């Protein structure tokens, strides 16, 4: 499973990249709003750091505007993926992008038929938001299982990005289900890679080495 960083924070992206833990990045307007500076410059910089897809989202709600904005994003770098919301206008825009070989990530997916429709329109990636479903007491990971199954049934090649990840169990379950990608905030990636037995084991090795160091 690929790890994407769900952030627009450059330091986090650099740190994850240095450790081989950043196969791509997903941004959205809310994540870009947390950072200082011109959002276009931030996305351009992310695309330079990351050797993988970088999603940048359109703001327009109508197809023409989505296509115009998406082509602007795509001009910034060759690894930009245009993020388009799952709406009827969005599907039309995805189809146009697909005919022009512009990669897309269909976002705000909350049921499996939305994912299937996005794939049929030509989306390169689909993003089910698991945490937001959990928030309304609807198991987000069940949706991922459904999408993975449906895509497998029909040999659909659109990648499944597990998004709105809120903890390590989301990421583990995503990998068990065979999702292509999980997009995760850097703090959560670090948290899921910590283990108390790793820490105490290392402490013990260092303490034992101290005993024999002067031999």
Query: Footprint of ligand G3P on this chain (CB under 6 A)?
Result: 6, 26, 28, 31, 129, 131-132, 163-164, 183
What count of other Cβ atoms lies within 10 Å of the Cβ of residue 15? 16
The least distance separating ligand G3P from the CB of residue 108, rounded to whole angstroms, comes to 8
Select 26 or 63, whichever has its Cβ closest to ligand G3P: 26
Residue tagged active-site, from 34, 48, 75, 83? 83
Closest contact distance (angstroms) between CB of 165 and ligand G3P is 7
83 vs 148, which CB is nearer to ligand G3P? Answer: 83
Q: How far is the CB of 163 from ligand G3P (least distance, A)?
A: 4
Q: Whose Cβ is closer to ligand G3P: residue 3's or residue 129's?
A: 129
> Does 48 participate in catalysis according to the annotation?
no
- As beta bridge partners, residue 24 has 4
Where would I find the H helices in the chain? 10-18, 29-33, 39-49, 63-76, 88-99, 112-121, 130-135, 140-153, 168-177, 186-192, 196-212
- The smaller minimum CB distance to ligand G3P, of residues 16 and 96, is found at 16
Give least dist CB 94 to ligand G3P, A: 17
Nearest to 130 by CA among 116, 117, 118, 147: 147
Among 6, 13, 35, 56, CA closest to 170: 6
What are 143-148's contacts with CB under 8 Å, separation 24+? 143/109, 143/110, 143/111, 143/112, 144/173, 144/174, 144/177, 144/179, 145/177, 146/112, 147/109, 147/112, 147/115, 147/116, 148/177, 148/178, 148/179
Smaller CB separation from ligand G3P, 28 or 104: 28
Q: How far is the CB of 136 from ligand G3P (least distance, A)?
A: 11
Catalytic (active-site) positions:
83
């Amino acid at each position: 499973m690929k790890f994407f960083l769900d952030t627009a924070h450059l330091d986090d992206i650099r740190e994850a990249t240095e450790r081989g833990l950043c196969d791509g990045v997903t941004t959205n307007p809310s994540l870009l709003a947390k950072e200082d500076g011109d959002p276009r410059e931030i996305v351009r910089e992310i695309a330079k750091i990351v050797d993988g897809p970088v999603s940048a989202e359109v703001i327009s709600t109508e197809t023409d505007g989505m296509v115009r904005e998406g082509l602007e994003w795509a001009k910034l770098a060759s690894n930009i993926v245009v993020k388009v919301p799952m709406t009827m206008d969005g599907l039309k825009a995805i189809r146009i992008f697909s005919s022009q070989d512009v990669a897309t990530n269909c976002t705000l997916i909350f049921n499996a038929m939305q994912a299937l429709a996005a794939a049929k329109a030509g989306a390169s990636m689909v993003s089910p938001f698991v945490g937001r479903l959990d928030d309304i007491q609807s198991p987000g990971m069940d949706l991922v299982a459904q999408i993975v199954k449906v895509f497998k049934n029909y040999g659909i090649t659109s990648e499944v990005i597990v998004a709105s990840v809120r903890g390590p169990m989301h990421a583990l379950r995503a990998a068990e289900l065979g999702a292509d990608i999980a997009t995760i905030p850097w703090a959560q990636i670090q948290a899921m890679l910590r283990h108390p037995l790793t820490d105490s084991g290392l402490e013990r090795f260092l303490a034992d080495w101290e005993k024999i160091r002067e031999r």
